Amino acid sequence: MQRVLAMLAALALALGTAGPGFAQDGQTDAQGREPALRLPEMVVIESPIIENNMVDRFGALTTVVGQEQIERLGAVDISSALRKTPGVTITRYNQVGSFGGAEGGAVFVRGMGSTRPGSEIKTYIDGVPMYMGPWSHPLLDLLPADMASAIEVVKGPQPQTVGNTFSAINIVPRQHTDEGFSTTVSAAGGSFGTVAQSLSHAGRVGDFDYQLGESFRYSNGHRDNADGRLTSGFANMGLRLNDTWTARLLALAMDNYADDPGPDTPGGVSEGRYETRARMAALTLCNQTDGAHGEIKFFANGGEGVWSDNVPGGVKKNRNEFWYFGMHAKEIVEFAQGGELLLGLDQEWWDSIVSYDYFNGTENTLNTPQFALTMPYLAVSRALGERDGWHATPSIGARGYLHNQFENRLAPFAGLVVGHDDTDLRVNVARGVNYPGLDVAIVFPASKWKQLDPEDVMHYEVGLSHRFGDLAVVDLAVYQDKGNNRYSFVLPPFPPTWTNTEDFDIRGMEASVRVNPLPELSLFAGLTVQRVTPDDMPYAPETSVSGGFNWRFLEKFTLSADCEYVDGMYALRQARKVGDQNTSRVGSHFLVNSRLGWEFELAQWDARGELFLLVQNLTDEEYAYRPDYPMPGINGMLGAKLTF
């Protein structure tokens, strides 16, 4: 059976498959953007790996992984949900849970995201920032996959969508849209003492809707001291106030931990336990009229990362607390025929407290200054022509950055989408701005860190897509990110000095294709090739290939399989010390996973359900994302889901 599944997955990869499908009429993403390109809906079994690639009116690309893809991949968190997405690389070493960031669990987008402290990518929940405040990098355990209706991967800087980052990942929370009530419960167990459980209940009565959910995941791990636990609960409620305004309230709580198993070498020592906790609340007021639509979002969240048991440097416990407050507002106003004016303002404040408890009984607490960032933005676009003939959408805009500690900046952007019928060419040029985080005031508080410039990148991308009727969609993207002013520190002399000295260059190509030869069969394949300078940038493989299929047979059965090949690559973090070079590498790997499901109905309960078997690493491949941290061999889970 293992050999058959591996051959099927490899066949899907060789055939090439699905990729981009543009959103249908009336569909927008979590940021309220309406795609410039719309194509007829194909009624087929859901696409594997990704839901679609979405191109906005500015020629910018966002890849969407939907709830169906998350379930078919058997994903326990964000990294496992995105592990096959073209342009995305992951790292992890626990079955459940991510240990404190980079090596223990992270996601990298087109070579971005490996810098520590700091990061070139930011992570969001419903557009609200959720990442490690003091050190400015994502914490994947604070991004629960069980609450997601979709995960958006924003590729490259997109100032018309999000600021102060070079790429972004956003979780779109589940929302109940149908009249009536629905309850779903699922449970699964398998290798290494792994268990997973979730419960959700949703309803809609007239103008009021709600979605409530909780989830629990735990594993002993495939090695000693590799256990982890993820727990979360959320509520998403909406009320239509009148014909124009709707209010939504999102609340979320998380409590997690992951242990470090240590290197699999003689004398290898674990670095202890990393705990993460967070709370978040966001109130969104949405408006919709004949000629305009938009939203105002008020948010506040706080959390902490606690490292204990074996912290380097004689530290018994390191606690990192953070808080975010802010408001995001935008309005899209239609004018003339096909014209849109985008007006927006993002206001964010954040600060933190970092404390150290030492084994010798001493303590040290650092209160960071509060950072504030005001980001107004403006853009205009105009759709010309007809969708089934010649058409074009030119666009231009800019985002401003007003920081309370650093110099102000302006990030212009422009795009063009042009095509004929089922063929489209897009061009996108954008400047990305990424300010230093609170880490510069923590690591060397006495240094002149306020003299730093924000990091800067110029992004260039050209894309081409073509639909072959209802059979297939092919998408190609060629991109370059040319960055400078990367901040790092010089040591010696003493005291150390922060400086903007380093540049980088990333050039790459993404290709993907979706094929639907039968209504019961959907295939996908993706290819990413990139070259990075300096060439020791971590988690930026030269070549990665992914593929998969979903096949529905005998009416009630669904077989899903996915595979990936990732080149050998540099690993660990990209340190911010001037002249520091990375010598750690991991080898290439080829992984095959599968999922078999059987659907059933319980008429007396008016319920439907599914029994499923998930098998990971079918070929028992030996591989690692971090040197001397082997990943699990073949493993599996058996579970059930019931909806009534």
Confidence of residue 433 (pLDDT cuts 50, 70, 90): very high
- Which residues are paired to 400 by β-bridges? 410
Residue ranges making up the domain that contains 346: 2-643
- Which residues are paired to 236 by β-bridges? 211, 250
> What number is the average pLDDT over the span 61-66?
96
Structural element, H or E, at residue 335: strand 315-335
On the question of pLDDT at 7 being above 80, the answer is: no
- Distant-in-sequence, close-in-space partners of 452: CB < 8 Å, separation ≥ 6: 406, 436, 440, 487, 498, 499, 500
On the question of pLDDT at 389 being above 60, the answer is: yes
DSSP string, 430-482: EEEEE---THHHHHSTTS-GGGPPPEEEEEEEEEEEEEETTTEEEEEEEEEEE
Here the CATH number for the domain that contains residue 25 is: 2.40.170.20
Task: Look at residue 318 and give its three-state secondary structure.
Answer: strand
Per-residue pLDDT of 444-485, as tens digits, reads: 888 889 999 999 999 999 999 999 998 999 999 999 999 999
On the question of pLDDT at 42 being above 60, the answer is: no
pLDDT at 41: 41
Total structural domains in the chain? 1
| The dihedral sign for the CA sequence 200, 33, 88, 170 | negative
Of all residues in the chain, the percent with pLDDT exceeding 70 is 93
pLDDT at 257: 97
Q: Is it true that the peptide bond before 492 is cis, omega within 30 degrees of 0? A: yes
DSSP string, 190-216: EGGGEEEEEEEEEEEETTEEEEEEEEE
> What number is the average pLDDT over the span 16-27?
33
Per-residue pLDDT of 546-602, as tens digits, reads: 999 999 999 999 999 999 999 999 999 888 888 888 889 999 999 999 999 999 999
| The dihedral sign for the CA sequence 80, 83, 87, 90 | positive
Confidence of residue 23 (pLDDT cuts 50, 70, 90): very low
**How deeply is 505 buried, as exposed, middle or buried, from its count of CB atoms within 10 A (0-12, 13-18, 19+)?**
middle
Which range (47-51, 129-133, 253-257, 446-450) has the least confidence?
446-450
d(CA 628, CA 634): 18
CA-closest candidate to residue 307, choices 316, 298, 296: 316
Structural element, H or E, at residue 12: helix 2-15
Q: Which residue has the tokens 């094929």?
A: 515
Report the residue count for the chain.
644
d(CA 460, CA 537): 20
pLDDT at 25: 34
Confidence of residue 168 (pLDDT cuts 50, 70, 90): very high
d(CA 329, CA 373): 14
d(CA 616, CA 563): 10
User: Maximum Cα–Cα distance for the chain, whole Å?
Assistant: 77
Structural element, H or E, at residue 89: strand 88-92
d(CA 354, CA 136): 13
d(CA 172, CA 527): 26
Confidence of residue 44 (pLDDT cuts 50, 70, 90): low
Which range (24-38, 369-383, 618-632) has the least confidence?
24-38
- Which residues are paired to 351 by β-bridges? 323
Confidence of residue 20 (pLDDT cuts 50, 70, 90): very low
d(CA 45, CA 353): 49
| The dihedral sign for the CA sequence 169, 352, 226, 189 | negative
pLDDT at 6: 38
CA atoms within 13 A on the CB side of 622: 2
d(CA 223, CA 561): 26
Higher-confidence position of 104 and 642: 642
Please answer whether residues 590 and 567 qualify as being in contact, where contact means their C-beta atoms are separated by less than 8 angstroms: no
Q: Which residue has the tokens 């099927």?
A: 8
> What number is the average pLDDT over the span 167-182?
95
The Cβ of residue 269 has, within 10 Å, a number of other Cβ atoms equal to 11
Structural element, H or E, at residue 71: helix 67-72
The Cβ of residue 387 has, within 10 Å, a number of other Cβ atoms equal to 15
Confidence of residue 77 (pLDDT cuts 50, 70, 90): confident
The Cβ of residue 640 has, within 10 Å, a number of other Cβ atoms equal to 15
d(CA 457, CA 460): 10
> What number is the average pLDDT over the span 370-397?
96
β-pairing, 208-219 vs 167-173, is: unpaired
Confidence of residue 26 (pLDDT cuts 50, 70, 90): very low
Burial call 407-429: b when 16+ CB within 10 Å, e when fewer: eebebebbbbbbbeebebbbbbb
Look up residue 78 and give its two tokens: 């964000």
Please answer whether residues 639 and 596 qualify as being in contact, where contact means their C-beta atoms are separated by less than 8 angstroms: no
Report angle CA 127, 110, 619 to the nearest 5 degrees: 105
d(CA 30, CA 150): 9
Mean pLDDT of the chain: 91
pLDDT at 280: 98
- How far is the CA of 152 from the CAs of 29, 51, 84, 487, in angstroms? 8, 10, 14, 28
> What number is the average pLDDT over the span 313-337?
95
Confidence of residue 312 (pLDDT cuts 50, 70, 90): confident
Look up residue 87 and give its two tokens: 């342009």
| The dihedral sign for the CA sequence 517, 524, 122, 198 | positive
- How far is the CA of 230 from the CAs of 99, 139, 474, in angstroms? 12, 12, 37
Q: Which residue has the tokens 């969407």?
A: 64
Please answer whether residues 516 and 469 qualify as being in contact, where contact means their C-beta atoms are separated by less than 8 angstroms: no
- What pTM did the predictor assign? 0.92
